[in-house]
Amino acid sequence: MIKIGFLMKAVVYRKYGGPEVLEFTELPKPQPKENEILVKIIATTVTTADLRMRKADPFMVKFLMGFPNPKKQVLGTEFSGIVEAVGSGVTRFKVNDRVYGPVGFKPGTYLEYRCFSQDSPLSLIPENVSFEEAAAIPFGGMSSLYFLKKGNVGKGTRLLIYGASGCLGTAAIQLAVNMGADVTAVCSGKNEELVKSLGAKAVIDYTKDSLKFYPGVFDVVYDTIGKSPFDESIKALKKGGIYLRAVHMSPGVIFRGIRAGLTSGRKVIGGTASELPEYIDHLSELAAGGKYKAVIDKIYPLSEIREAHKYVDSGHKRGNVVIKI
């Protein structure tokens, strides 16, 4: 039987659906094994990955989370917190360290405590970064770092970022500017000031303008939200250019990508971003040097997790939505 003192607050979901499937409960507080640290979670976020897992969209999410209802019942893909205890074999971290990181294919940060292997891609939070900011760094930062590297973005690259005001987009602008790229951001007029403040040199307002007016202009087009028109994006590239797509590609899009590669001399790259330890270290270094800051749209307490999910469901958040545990 579980003793009351060893329970922690958590949010679970027992069926796929809208924000209303999120329920408050109590779960046993975990204990760290030899190679693990126990983290008291201070902040987490609501990412588009949480929405996909909550809704089982696309359907193959069920292979990760469970059939016919979720077996893994806690959402949350990134976190920040304080190390509360360490296993006997832990050398990398100590009690009271401020840490943050992604959780990869093991979601579950909508709770008060979680154990992590000391070998996970975790990093110490730089002194100048708050818990709220740190929690919002890994998902957007690591995903966009992965794709920008795939696109060989570097000094002088003419880069178009589609969905520039979102989580991956706001991360991508800052990373690309640090890499020396010349960034054009696609967003709506209301986010023009934001993307320029992050370093975008030019802005295309998707509500008024179209990529068809920019033929052969860019070395790389990076679509962070899966809404860029395929043919116009290919045509907006110079010969030899690369079209990066962070969003799940349907068989039809994969086919068009292969055809574009064979007939137009432009390459289409998609897939799933890796969360490599060197990525989080790189982001920490940039954040410590004031060269990277997670954009935070809203902060909700855990008690308002359903409202937070509803807001992110709108598809119009700016940067990140943070949850304080």
Ligand X SMILES: NC(=O)c1ccc[n+]([C@@H]2O[C@H](COP(=O)([O-])OP(=O)(O)OC[C@H]3O[C@@H](n4cnc5c(N)ncnc54)[C@H](OP(=O)(O)O)[C@@H]3O)[C@@H](O)[C@H]2O)c1
Residue nearest to ligand X (CB): 166
Smallest distance, ligand X to C-beta of residue 35, A: 27
Smallest distance, ligand X to C-beta of residue 151, A: 13
Q: Is 184 in the site for ligand X (CB under 6 A)?
A: no
Q: Is 269 in the site for ligand X (CB under 6 A)?
A: no
Task: Provide, for the chain, the percentages of residues in helix, strand and coil under a 3-state DSSP scheme, each rounded to the nearest 5.
Answer: 35, 30, 40
Q: Is 76 in the site for ligand X (CB under 6 A)?
A: no
Which range, of 26-34, 210-218, 249-257, 313-321, touches ligand X by CB under 6 A? 313-321
Of 148-177, which residues contact ligand X (CB under 6 A)? 162-163, 165-169
Tokens (6 digits) for 240? 């030899």
The Cα 111–Cα 209 span in angstroms is: 43
Q: Is 39 in the site for ligand X (CB under 6 A)?
A: no
Residues 223 and 243: beta-carbon distance below 8 Å: yes
Site map 231..250 versus ligand X, x via CB under 6 A: ---------------xx---
Which one, 47 or 80, has the nearer CB to ligand X? 47
Q: Is 145 in the site for ligand X (CB under 6 A)?
A: no
Please list the alpha-helical segments (H only) found in the chain. 48-55, 61-65, 131-135, 138-150, 167-179, 192-197, 230-235, 251-264, 277-288, 305-313
Number of residues near ligand X (by CB under 6 A): 30
Smallest distance, ligand X to C-beta of residue 297, A: 8
The torsion region of residue 315 among left (phi > 0), alpha (psi -120 to 50) and beta comes to: left
Q: Is 229 in the site for ligand X (CB under 6 A)?
A: no
Q: Is 273 in the site for ligand X (CB under 6 A)?
A: yes
Which one, 10 or 148, has the nearer CB to ligand X? 148
Label residues 85-112 b or e (16+ Cβ within 10 Å = b): bbbeebeebeeebbbbbbbeeebbbbbb
The Cα 276–Cα 123 span in angstroms is: 12
The Cα 134–Cα 181 span in angstroms is: 25
Which one, 38 or 159, has the nearer CB to ligand X? 159
List residues binding ligand X (CB under 6 A).
Answer: 47-49, 52, 143, 162-163, 165-169, 186-188, 190-191, 206, 224-227, 246-247, 272-273, 315-318
